[in-house]
């Protein structure tokens, strides 16, 4: 009986020791290199929806550079914590030793809104008062943390964020936007991206 209790107590001690151990991803970050695998498109979506069956969508907002904001935001979050951050095109960086772990940023559709992957601008007003949402910037993603020394990765699941625009309604084409409207919309989306990256990365234990 005494042996049984000794085994139980030993098990409890070992469990508590491992449970209290710091996450590997939070330990000695200065020795770890994080590769960012950014799968987002270069240009945001431009979506204007007016009925349940009709969606006026222009895939090219007309301004590039937003994909880089995801990388820059990840760097701004990770580097102050001590991580070295590199851009990677695929997962081979784990095999060749360039990265200790990879953060895969995957574009997702807005919940129950197919054809809206990644990020962009979204204006949904249906039948006047039935659905009357303000024009917004949005970003929708999933992040996966892949480590070469861990069989099972970590994923956040779909994470989406919206930010109201000053423009009340999107015109049919981004070409119809004024210069000031474009500037405000672009800044709004960039801030939305940064805020979302800073909110989601901690979910991976980084």
Q: What is the pLDDT of residues 96-155, one digit of tens each?
A: 999 999 999 999 999 888 888 999 999 877 665 556 678 999 999 999 999 977 766 788
Query: Is the model's pLDDT at 20 over the cut of 70?
Result: no
Residue 16 has which token pair?
């508590």
30 band by pLDDT with thresholds 50, 70 and 90:
confident
Q: Give the residue-averaged pLDDT of 183-196.
A: 96
1 band by pLDDT with thresholds 50, 70 and 90:
very low
Q: How far is it, in rounded angstroms, from Cα 107 to Cα 65? A: 16
pLDDT for 145: 95
Q: Are strands 84-87 and 33-38 parallel, antiparallel or unpaired?
A: parallel
Residue 72 has which token pair?
């820059």
Report yes or no on 110 lying in a domain: yes
Q: What is the CATH number of the domain that holds 84?
A: 3.40.50
| Closest C-alpha to 190, from 77, 35, 66, 63 | 66
Report yes or no on 3 lying in a domain: no
pLDDT tens-digit readout, 67-81: 999 999 999 999 999
Question: How many CA within 13 A on the CB side of residue 158?
Answer: 13
Residue 206 has which token pair?
């980084």
Report yes or no on 10 lying in a domain: no
Report yes or no on 22 lying in a domain: no
Report yes or no on 16 lying in a domain: no
Average of per-residue pLDDT values in the chain: 82
DSSP 8-state secondary structure symbol assigned to residue 27 = S
Query: Is the model's pLDDT at 12 over the cut of 60?
Result: no
Report yes or no on 136 lying in a domain: yes
Q: How many domains does the chain have?
A: 1
Identify the weakest region by mean pLDDT among 9-13, 97-101, 162-166, 196-200: 9-13
3-state DSSP call for residue 132? Answer: strand
Question: In which residue are the tokens 């009357």 written?
Answer: 132
Question: Following DSSP, what letter does each residue of 167-191 receive, concatenated?
Answer: SSS--SSGGGS-HHHHHHHHHHHHH
DSSP 8-state secondary structure symbol assigned to residue 85 = E
Q: How far is it, in rounded angstroms, from Cα 107 to Cα 118? A: 4
pLDDT for 155: 84
Residues 6+ apart with CB under 8 A from 193: 66, 69, 70, 73, 119, 139
User: Is-above-0.95 flag for pTM?
Assistant: no
Range(s) of the domain holding residue 98: 28-204
Report yes or no on 107 lying in a domain: yes
Q: How far is it, in rounded angstroms, from Cα 34 to Cα 94? A: 10
Q: Give the residue-averaged pLDDT of 82-104.
A: 95
| % of the chain with per-residue pLDDT over 70 | 76
pLDDT greater at residue 23 or residue 46: 46
pLDDT greater at residue 52 or residue 132: 132
Report yes or no on 134 lying in a domain: yes
């Amino acid at each position: 009986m005494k042996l049984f209790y000794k085994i139980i107590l030993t098990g409890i001690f070992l469990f508590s020791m491992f449970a209290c151990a710091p996450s590997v991803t939070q330990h000695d970050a200065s020795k770890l290199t994080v590769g960012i695998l950014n799968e987002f498109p270069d240009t945001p979506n431009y979506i204007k929806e007016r009925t349940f069956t009709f969606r006026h969508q222009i895939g090219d907002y007309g301004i590039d550079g937003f994909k880089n904001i995801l990388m820059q935001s990840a760097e701004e979050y990770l580097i102050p914590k001590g991580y070295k951050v590199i851009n990677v095109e695929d997962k081979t960086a784990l095999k060749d030793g360039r990265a200790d772990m990879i953060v895969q940023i995957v574009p997702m559709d807005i919940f129950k809104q197919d054809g809206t992957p990644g990020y962009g601008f979204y204006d949904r007003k249906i039948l006047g008062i039935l659905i009357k949402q303000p024009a917004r910037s949005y970003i929708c993603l999933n992040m996966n943390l892949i480590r070469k020394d861990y069989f099972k990765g970590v994923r956040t699941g779909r994470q989406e964020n919206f930010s109201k625009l000053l423009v009340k309604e999107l015109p049919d084409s981004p070409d119809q936007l004024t210069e000031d409207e474009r500037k405000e919309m672009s800044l709004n989306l960039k801030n939305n991206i940064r805020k979302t990256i800073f909110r989601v990365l901690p979910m991976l234990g980084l």
